[in-house]
Structure 1
Amino acid sequence: MGLVDDIILAMHGDLPALEHLLLENADYLERTAYLYLSNDTDVQDAISDTVLQAIRGIKKLQKPQFFKTWLTKILIRQCYRRYSKRRHDPILIEELPVVPVAGNELSSEQRLDLLAGLRQLNDANRQALLMHYFNGLSILEIAQITKLSPNTIKSQLLRGKQQLRDWLGDDYFAN
């Protein structure tokens, strides 16, 4: 049985099929949540609430091919709820998420700088950067999740990168 078959079964109320889908996406959900939240408890709470909403709302999913996009959108909403409550809390270095930068291993100071820079961005630009560079989502996938045009997403990515460059300095990360 394939992934699409499981999604269709889940859409028709098959809880074991939905459980299988959620387990298949567990690592993805955790990695994504850690990009938005640095606290283990908040990450687990966001994932739990995402799973609960997925169970309640799977029957409303209209197209099986958008399952992951739909699930990501639920998770991001949950993360933003928690993020907005805790964004002024101090960050502990040991709780920092791993920041993927091609070919570079970042020091704790660099990770703090990058995350501080991300916190300076407006929500739309930060979200576009996180989804594209940290989650590996395409511009079209981000557009589907956010219900914005691909050109708007491209603009948010460009503005977000420029704002990070301005915040961190042009030579902070070699491109």
Structure 2
Amino acid sequence: MLDNELDIKKAQKGDHEAFIRLFRQLESQLYRLAKTILTQDEDCADALQETTLKVYKGLASLKQPKFFKTWVIRILINECNQLLRMRERTVAVAEIPEETAASYAHFEDSGSVDLQSCINRLDESLRLAIVLFYYEDLSIKQIAGVLGISEGAVRARLHRARRLLSEQIQPVREEGLAHE
């Protein structure tokens, strides 16, 4: 049995230290994922806090410890989406900070590619697929379970996201070659 699975079983029986160890291992991954969806640090912190509470309260109901990570990710995505829905109801118009516009102008002028900026410009469904697959190392099957879609839909999203990223990167590459 893996250490994680042992910690999950201990946490299910009320071991607070085991629960803390589990969350410390996932903390940076969960924050990155929340940041992908929400972009604002305050919202990410809120989503992580709510996720932690829901996982803690519902941990006893988790049947198979091997699905712990995907279960936590699904809860986090749901919390992030809930925050987005609440924001849509309360914020009529979002202002784009000047530094964001300036950073995009710098990106366009610099001739270099910031992959994270390109990923952030993708539609949320494509961005999530890319982040879960490449940054969180989840399998297509796990991503399908987390997002509640078919494996074919995950493959299609990954294919489309890769194509769009390639289209964003290719003009910069060609421009760089023309200057050399």
1:56 aligns with 2:52: no
Q: Extract unaligned runs of 5+ from structure 2.
A: 104-111, 175-180
Structure 2: how far apart are the matches of 1:164 and 1:105? Answer: 10
Higher helix share: 2
Superposition deviation, residue 81 in structure 1: 2.0
Structure 1: how far apart are the matches of 2:160 and 2:3? Answer: 39
- Deviation by residue 1:62-98 (Cα, 9 ceiling, x = unmatched): 110111111111111111222342696345457x9xx
Structure 2: how far apart are the matches of 1:38 and 1:156? Answer: 21
1:106 aligns with 2:111: no
Provide the alpha-carbon RMSD of the alignment.
Answer: 3.1
Q: Secondary structure at the match of 2:171?
A: coil
State the TM-score, normalizing by the size of structure 1. Answer: 0.73
Structure 2: how far apart are the matches of 1:13 and 1:49? Answer: 19
| Aligned residue in 1 for 2:44 | 43
Q: Secondary structure at the match of 1:171?
A: helix
Structure 1: how far apart are the matches of 2:59 and 2:173? Answer: 41
State the TM-score, normalizing by the size of structure 2. Answer: 0.71
- Deviation by residue 1:9-64 (Cα, 9 ceiling, x = unmatched): 11233232212211222122222211112211111101100101011110111110
Larger radius of gyration: 2
- Deviation by residue 1:106-161 (Cα, 9 ceiling, x = unmatched): 29xx82x653x32xx3x533432332234332212202212333222101222334
Q: How many residues align?
A: 158
Q: Extract unaligned runs of 5+ from structure 1.
A: 97-103
Segment of structure 1 superposing worse, 47-56 or 7-16: 7-16
